[in-house]
Structure 1
Amino acid sequence: MACTGFNRRSFAWAVLIAVVLVARANAIDIFLEWHLTLDTTLKPVTRDQPVIVINGLFPGPLINATTNDFVHVNIFNDMDEPLLFTWNGIQQRLNSWQDGVSGTNCPIQPGTNWTYVFQTKDQIGSFFYFPSINFHKAAGGFGSIRVINRNVIAVPFPRPEAEFDLLIGDWFYDSYQNTRALMGTPLVAYHAIPDIILMNGKGPFGNPMSKSYESFNVTQGMTYRLRISNVGNALSFNFRIQNHQMVLVETEGSYTDQIALDSLDVHVGQSYSVLVTANQNAADYYMVASPKLVNTSEFTSLVGIGVLHYSNSVSQVSGPLPDGPDPFDLDFSVDQAKSIRWNLTAGAARPNPQGTFNVSNVTLSQTFILQSSVADLGDEPRYVVNNVSYRTPETPLKLADYYVNGTGVYQLDAFPTHYVNDDAAYGVSVVTGIHKGWIEIVFMNTLDAMDSWHLDGFGFYVVGFGNGDWSTDSRDTYNLYDPVVRSTVQVYPGGWTAVYAFLDNPGMWNLRSQLLKHWYLGQELYVRVYDADPNPAKESPPPENLLRCGIFSSPPAPAPAPASWT
């Protein structure tokens, strides 16, 4: 006899509750209440522009969690536009319903609230959150996420005296609404350059536009951890501290081999942890973030400047800013990127050494070759992937996938993942990712700008970088021994980047450019990783507070029982 829909769902929820109870055994629940408003009085620089604040804060509150904790974020939308939040690098294990992008969630409407519930399952590290639709990220609304180790897992460096979160990013003087509207203008869309670089929402030290500047207080002789994130919209930057070296220890949830650096390139969407020892004379020292591929002699405000202040300092910062690498020297950047390796002997979220999970002997199930470029579609400037520009449907893909198998919203595998369309076109690009298969993704960048790519739900094993076109012979240059694992990877102008990922996380996952105008103008697609087993231990069912929109503005009919349950 076939199980009824009611009994099937009841059994599924019972299994889910049992799974959650086991997962909660070593975790806590963190409850947060956020009120999102558009503040016209809090000005990072002396310009009239609205800033998205959370509980009156810009940047927003720190989310401080431990591996496997459950985070509940009740978001009240007090703005006049719908919004969503995404948790950059938090993998949402088994639960893309909480991912907070247009393909997985209906937006939170003005005057309403909705609670995200996600688990920092099997993760540690430095991440950040931000609003994901309507160009909101250009107005703020971002903040730091720390996921710290469980007590039973050793951290591979001595405990620092303190930790600082440093959110650095480019910023437009104009309102996000005006900048968003100009994205329909080809000249602006392709060539717009931000106006200034902020550190933790504050302008550069010494800049007449700045209302304040960022400063960290340190004690001579002590070591500190800086968690640095590029929360900007367009520009990679090089970060350095006057007269101080940094020791790289972590990037987006992976402990790295510890290397000493005079400066560090951080690309849009990326996060790093570095250790800095206050081992200089008691004084104040510049912290500098200067953009890549920009002549800062022409754009002087595009140099972010803060201060490292020794507690017993009696002198202010002085002298010239510390020199960084030539911003147009991509060889330096590539060489540094290749030197960032996974620490194979360190434990992280689990007691097993990271090197237990490696790619030296994997068998690839799929290869995607994704070429980024620009196109004019009906006089609209658009960014394209393999000549396809993503156009967001009114119905989130995840809802359509769960209730009607995508019918009427998208067609699976309708667009190419390994060749370029002859003609540029709009499309709702959703492609198959083979569950529990290894995928190779090659990002090719025909643009004259740096790009960054991110896949929700997974980590990238960054196996290779190269110039020109990728070919199968390029695999001979891959590092398959200790490639670092991270959630966002840069792609250099005129070059390619290759990554591996293990698709063990069922769901509908956003694969996107992290550059805001690229993403807003179509440079994204979705990877559908499907497991036919309805056991909620493998993928969570829709949350009880599920928002509905598009073709599901009214509650949809229950999904039919899979054949395997009859």
Structure 2
Amino acid sequence: MAFSGHLRWWILGAAMVAMLCTGAGAIDIFMEWHVAFDATAMPLTLDQPVITINGMFPGPLINATTNDFVHVNVYNDLDEPLLFTWNGIQQRLNSWQDGVSGTNCPILPGTNWTYVFQTKDQIGTFFYFPSINFQKAAGGYGAIRVNNRVVISVPFPKPEAEYDLLIGDWYYDSYKFIRSTMRNPLVAYPGVPDTILMNGKGPYGHPLSISHESFNVTKGKIYRFRISNVGNAFSLNFRIQNHSMMIVETEGSYTNQIIVDSLDVHVGQSYSVLVTANQDEADYYMVATPKMFRVHDSSSLVGVGVLHYSNSLTQVGGPLPAGPDPFNWGFTMNQARSIRWNLTAGAARPNPQGTFNVSNVTLAETFVLQNSVEEIEGSARYVVNNVSYYTLNTPLKLADYFLNGSGIYQLNAFPTRSVNRDAACGVSVVSGIHKGWLEIVFKNNLDAMDSWHLDGFGFYVVGFGLGNWDEGARAGYNLHNPVVRSTTQVYPGGWTAVYVFLDNPGMWNLRSQHLMNWYLGEELHIRVHDPDPNPAKEQPPPDNLLLCGIFGESGAPTGSPPPAPAPAPAPWSWW
């Protein structure tokens, strides 16, 4: 077919625009996952269900490059509903793929559903996990890498190899048993976790461990370790015997390169560190220990693996490398403040990260969110500003798209800067100003560490403090080079301040990353709405959209425990 000159140029121009929008060289990655219980994957000599993907625990690595499209066809072979969320993948213009109960109907047992998401304008270290039913405590998690496009330089030498290291606490009891205990009045949890796993393996030398994790290195070479805390409750301090680590990246941001002897990794957080194999050819301990908890070398709450030199003839032995005092707030806060954005590095785009700064932004809104534990209708619930989130059987995203939320939730009924007098359950949805700058101050009224995460966005972490926050604290914010990350810690009795640029339309989950806190109500949703119907805005629902709740529920999901009565429509119990 012959085209006119003008039409040929129009077609060429459209193709170039399409390449710019999707990313030159972007590819489609197809994965098929069968999610099941597997007794052979147990990390310890205990009879407990472990959630595996294709028989693997942890699950398969998602290894993508900036702007790739990832298709994950999930077959649910469990005996209960299932969702996966992609911790830190921002789902640009597409909260339909977010994989939490507020945005998606669950994948029912014996069925499958395909997620399709793009690693749009991102690089970095992330992970995925099951988001409902307390299933994360049984496994089902795995690593995500998003690599630089070849046209954008990585700001450090190419390492000899890259290793994914998923560390986290683990319970001896079945997750279903633990979940059932939370039906009881005023029972928040049956004690602390029991052990620390590394890549789904028990501690080296522990009598209950079936195996331990070990990494092979060659003397003189440099290795990149991508470390994620996939646990449920404990912040962890990670260290390698006789080896320093250079922090180079966290959750999609290249950092100023600092050398540390140990690294605090809070629940839900991920880091990349470079380790130089510069010691004698031997074996060395790799250790992860909980913060705010005292342990000894033989404790089950010490995660232990091995760094093995290729020509080593010396088996690891002796005392474990000591870490910082787990209650030393000076150490952990100073380290957190030292992790800053590398302003000269390019990441997903060739522009240096410093091109995108918060030194002179105008804030459109401020949320001050305080957590605590309260009794509601005879049960212990986690609350934010005295509201405990109540999960409905109709996802908020469906209600928002088809009904503008009518009859499902009341927009902005949640108090964003004050604390309600009486604790109660509610469907917490607040509006965010599209392309406005939001300041969020997280105040932790608990005596334990907390972590907060916002799907769809990155936090510019501008300040930490102990005690109460007031507007005068802004004078101490770091507005020059705050690190941008998807999960931030909040210290006991302290506060953390972040800025967020709300440029991503959708219904986005804001939650505690601590599993019990989230499961028992410490969450809300931010509705970022752009009324412009331009198709370049938020994407329409996918063709394979699942319906449930008032739109045609085909089965009753199970998840968080039944709280106090909530407004119509009638909610389903997550049991």
The letter of the residue matching 2:538 is E
Determine the C-alpha separation between the residues in 2 that align with 1:305 and 1:24.
41
Determine the C-alpha separation between the residues in 2 that align with 1:185 and 1:469.
33
Q: State the partner residue of 2:167.
A: 168
Q: State the partner residue of 1:99.
A: 98
Determine the C-alpha separation between the residues in 1 that align with 2:117 and 2:481.
30
Determine the C-alpha separation between the residues in 2 that align with 1:361 and 1:272.
28
The letter of the residue matching 1:526 is H
The letter of the residue matching 2:491 is Y
Q: State the partner residue of 1:263.
A: 262
In the TM superposition, what are the counterparts of 1:289-308 in structure 2 within 5 Å?
289-297=288-296, 300-308=299-307
Deviation at residue 456 of structure 1 after TM alignment: 0.2
Determine the C-alpha separation between the residues in 2 that align with 1:67 and 1:213.
33
Determine the C-alpha separation between the residues in 2 that align with 1:176 and 1:62.
24
In the TM superposition, what are the counterparts of 1:226-375 in structure 2 within 5 Å?
226-297=225-296, 300-375=299-374
Check whether the contact 1:89–1:457 (CA below 8 A) recurs between aligned residues. yes
Given the superposition, is the C-alpha separation of residues 298 and 422 from structure 1 closer, same or farther in structure 2, using an over 3 Å criterion?
Answer: farther
Determine the C-alpha separation between the residues in 1 that align with 2:365 and 2:184.
37
Determine the C-alpha separation between the residues in 1 that align with 2:189 and 2:58.
28
Check whether the contact 2:187–2:380 (CA below 8 A) recurs between aligned residues. no
Check whether the contact 2:187–2:379 (CA below 8 A) recurs between aligned residues. no
Determine the C-alpha separation between the residues in 1 that align with 2:298 and 2:381.
26
The letter of the residue matching 1:401 is D
Check whether the contact 1:96–1:508 (CA below 8 A) recurs between aligned residues. yes
Pick which of 86-95 and 527-536 moved more: 527-536
Deviation at residue 32 of structure 1 after TM alignment: 0.3
Deviation at residue 22 of structure 1 after TM alignment: 4.5
Check whether the contact 1:92–1:119 (CA below 8 A) recurs between aligned residues. yes
Check whether the contact 1:41–1:50 (CA below 8 A) recurs between aligned residues. no
Structure 1 unpaired stretches of 5+: 1-14, 556-566
Determine the C-alpha separation between the residues in 2 that align with 1:131 and 1:181.
18
Check whether the contact 2:297–2:320 (CA below 8 A) recurs between aligned residues. no
Deviations 1:374-396 (A, max 9, x none): 00101111000000000101000
Task: Give the 3-state SS of the residue equivalent to 2:188 in structure 1.
Answer: helix
Q: State the partner residue of 2:154.
A: 155
The letter of the residue matching 1:303 is V
TM-score norm. by structure 1 comes to 0.94
Determine the C-alpha separation between the residues in 2 that align with 1:41 and 1:381.
35
Deviations 1:23-42 (A, max 9, x none): 15430000000000011232
Given the superposition, is the C-alpha separation of residues 75 and 273 from structure 1 closer, same or farther in structure 2, using an over 3 Å criterion?
Answer: same
Answer yes or no: is 1:119 the counterpart of 2:118: yes
In the TM superposition, what are the counterparts of 1:521-540 in structure 2 within 5 Å?
521-540=520-539
Q: Aligned Cα RMSD in Å? A: 1.7
Deviations 1:237-271 (A, max 9, x none): 00000000000000000000000000000000000
The letter of the residue matching 2:470 is S
Q: State the partner residue of 1:10.
A: none
Structure 2 unpaired stretches of 5+: 1-13, 555-575
Q: State the partner residue of 2:478.
A: 479
Determine the C-alpha separation between the residues in 2 that align with 1:198 and 1:182.
23
Deviations 1:379-432 (A, max 9, x none): 111000000000101000000000001111100001101010000000000001
Pick which of 535-544 and 176-185 moved more: 176-185
Q: State the partner residue of 1:224.
A: 223
Answer yes or no: is 1:88 the counterpart of 2:87: yes
Given the superposition, is the C-alpha separation of residues 375 and 280 from structure 1 closer, same or farther in structure 2, using an over 3 Å criterion?
Answer: same
Q: State the partner residue of 1:8.
A: none
Determine the C-alpha separation between the residues in 2 that align with 1:224 and 1:237.
21
The letter of the residue matching 2:391 is T
In the TM superposition, what are the counterparts of 1:201-216 in structure 2 within 5 Å?
201-216=200-215
The letter of the residue matching 1:217 is N
Deviation at residue 191 of structure 1 after TM alignment: 6.3
Task: Give the 3-state SS of the residue equivalent to 1:337 in structure 2.
Answer: helix
Determine the C-alpha separation between the residues in 1 that align with 2:21 and 2:338.
39
In the TM superposition, what are the counterparts of 1:21-60 in structure 2 within 5 Å?
22-23=21-22, 25-60=24-59
In the TM superposition, what are the counterparts of 1:480-519 in structure 2 within 5 Å?
480-519=479-518
Task: Give the 3-state SS of the residue equivalent to 1:41 in structure 2.
Answer: helix
Determine the C-alpha separation between the residues in 1 that align with 2:203 and 2:75.
32
The letter of the residue matching 1:497 is T
In the TM superposition, what are the counterparts of 1:385-404 in structure 2 within 5 Å?
385-404=384-403
Pick which of 294-303 and 53-62 moved more: 294-303
Determine the C-alpha separation between the residues in 1 that align with 2:542 and 2:376.
38
Q: State the partner residue of 1:562.
A: none
Given the superposition, is the C-alpha separation of residues 522 and 299 from structure 1 closer, same or farther in structure 2, using an over 3 Å criterion?
Answer: farther
Check whether the contact 1:184–1:381 (CA below 8 A) recurs between aligned residues. no
Pick which of 185-194 and 159-168 moved more: 185-194
Task: Give the 3-state SS of the residue equivalent to 1:137 in structure 2.
Answer: helix
The letter of the residue matching 1:407 is S
Percent of aligned pairs with the same amino acid: 74
Determine the C-alpha separation between the residues in 1 that align with 2:290 and 2:103.
33
The letter of the residue matching 1:27 is A
Q: State the partner residue of 1:71.
A: 70
Deviations 1:211-259 (A, max 9, x none): 0000000000000000000000000000000000000000000000000
Check whether the contact 2:214–2:308 (CA below 8 A) recurs between aligned residues. yes
Q: State the partner residue of 1:5.
A: none
Q: Stretches of 4+ moved more than 6 A in 1?
A: none
Q: State the partner residue of 1:134.
A: 133
Task: Give the 3-state SS of the residue equivalent to 1:301 in structure 2.
Answer: coil
Check whether the contact 2:506–2:527 (CA below 8 A) recurs between aligned residues. yes
Pairs aligned (count):
541
Deviations 1:307-349 (A, max 9, x none): 0000000001122100100001111100100000100000000
Task: Give the 3-state SS of the residue equivalent to 2:415 in structure 1.
Answer: coil
The letter of the residue matching 1:64 is N
